[in-house]
């Protein structure tokens, strides 16, 4: 029941009263949602755009909250902003501009809020990484000492792992040096586990991020259908096979269950190619972090809608079976998106 409802919420969103709408609308990841706890499972539920026509409604009654789906009500808890959002760093920068709460235990920050692929004109069509700068909701570069201070403040509120992602800073190290510096700063000042996300880089650069203290890594191919990837992520499409090489290198360094990749469904991908690609990933030892498309305003894919819940369920169940068949255990992942689980029902089906 928990997995089914979470899947429906991620695909259909929820129709929320204006006074209960919170959340960022742009960014590098799945923005446009509100974090809720559904049976203790963190869920990043879409509330803008397509979600405003959702058959699922968020209700408030006697200071409690429920989602109503087909007449059946389920009690949920809305996650409020952490206290550190009201604080500033030692040099006066608002902490919420440096890192945000992802769920109730995970912190997230885009260390470099630009992407060279936007300059080259071959950016991912679903991405809104630079829109956050346009709307003044973040800063371009998060300095290591800023991240350390925010992580320390968040740790005091119970946050215990952090996702450090980046736009592709250049076509050489892709931003790995910045991620290494950021990781080291967080590790030197907290006990947080660190997850880094980056395009394929050399084995030495992967090793440098691990040596800096990163506990897990996401190297995101986005789609396992080459044609869909060429259409939606033209800058990544030429590196399709390079991803498998980078995953293999990362597994050598980070070890079992610590390498993952976002697989976004709803990009017009071929079903059979995607299922076969998931099997290939699992056979290699990589966690296929399956998520539905989250269309963002002001991006080329803003008018698309996520897949139907029954479509997502097939892929979730296939990924779970394939992981078990190949000895991949996402429950052992130490930090980041897989451990948070807010944007995917993968772990809920796996359990």
Using the structure block, give the residue that is written with the tokens 């995917």: 344
In this predicted model, what pLDDT tens digit does every residue of 220-276 receive, in sequence order? Answer: 999 999 999 999 999 999 999 999 999 999 999 999 999 999 999 999 999 999 999
Sequence-ordered list of residues with C-beta below 8 angstroms from that of 83, at least 6 positions apart, any chain:
157
The torsion angle over the Cα atoms of residues 329, 332, 336 and 337, rounded to 10 degrees, is 30
pLDDT interval class at 1 (50, 70, 90): low
DSSP β-ladder status, 259-265 and 216-218: parallel
In this predicted model, what pLDDT tens digit does every residue of 80-139 receive, in sequence order? Answer: 999 999 999 999 999 999 999 998 899 999 999 999 999 999 999 999 999 988 988 899
**Total of domains in the chain:** 1
Instruction: Give the CATH number for residue 305.
Output: 3.20.20.70
Residue 166: give the domain boundaries: 2-350
Instruction: Count the neighbouring beta carbons within 10 Å of the beta carbon of residue 269.
Output: 24
Using the structure block, give the residue that is written with the tokens 């201070």: 149
């Amino acid at each position: 029941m928990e997995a089914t409802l979470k899947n429906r919420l991620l695909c259909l969103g929820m129709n929320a009263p204006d006074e209960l709408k919170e959340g960022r609308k742009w960014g590098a990841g799945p923005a446009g949602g509100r974090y809720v706890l559904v049976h203790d499972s963190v869920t990043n539920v879409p509330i803008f755009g397509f979600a405003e026509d959702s058959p699922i409604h968020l209700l408030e009654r006697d200071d409690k909250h429920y989602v109503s789906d087909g007449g059946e009500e389920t009690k949920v808890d809305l996650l409020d902003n952490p206290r550190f959002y009201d604080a500033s760093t030692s040099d006066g920068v608002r902490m919420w501009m440096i890192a945000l709460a992802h769920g109730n235990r995970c912190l997230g920050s885009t260390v470099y809020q630009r992407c060279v692929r936007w300059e080259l004109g071959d950016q991912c069509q679903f991405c809104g990484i630079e829109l956050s700068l346009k709307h003044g909701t973040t800063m371009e570069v998060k300095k290591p000492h800023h991240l350390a201070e925010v992580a320390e403040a968040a740790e005091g509120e119970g946050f215990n792992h952090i996702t450090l992602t980046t736009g592709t800073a250049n076509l050489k190290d892709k931003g790995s040096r910045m991620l290494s510096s950021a990781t080291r700063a967080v590790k030197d000042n907290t006990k947080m586990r660190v997850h880094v996300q980056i395009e394929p880089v050399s084995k030495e650069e992967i090793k440098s991020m691990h040596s800096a203290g990163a506990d897990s890594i996401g190297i995101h191919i986005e789609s396992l259908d080459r044609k869909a990837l060429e259409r939606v992520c033209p800058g990544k499409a030429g590196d399709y096979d390079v991803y498998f090489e980078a995953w293999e290198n990362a597994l050598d360094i980070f070890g079992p269950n610590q390498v993952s990749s976002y697989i976004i469904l709803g990009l017009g991908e071929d079903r059979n190619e995607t299922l076969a690609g998931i099997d290939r990933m699992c056979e290699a030892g990589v966690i296929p972090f399956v998520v539905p498309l989250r269309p963002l305003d002001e991006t080329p894919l803003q008018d698309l809608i996520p897949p139907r819940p029954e479509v997502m369920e097939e892929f979730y169940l296939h990924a779970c079976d394939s992981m078990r068949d190949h000895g991949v255990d996402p429950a052992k992942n130490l930090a980041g998106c897989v451990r948070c689980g807010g944007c995917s029902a993968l772990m809920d089906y796996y359990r």
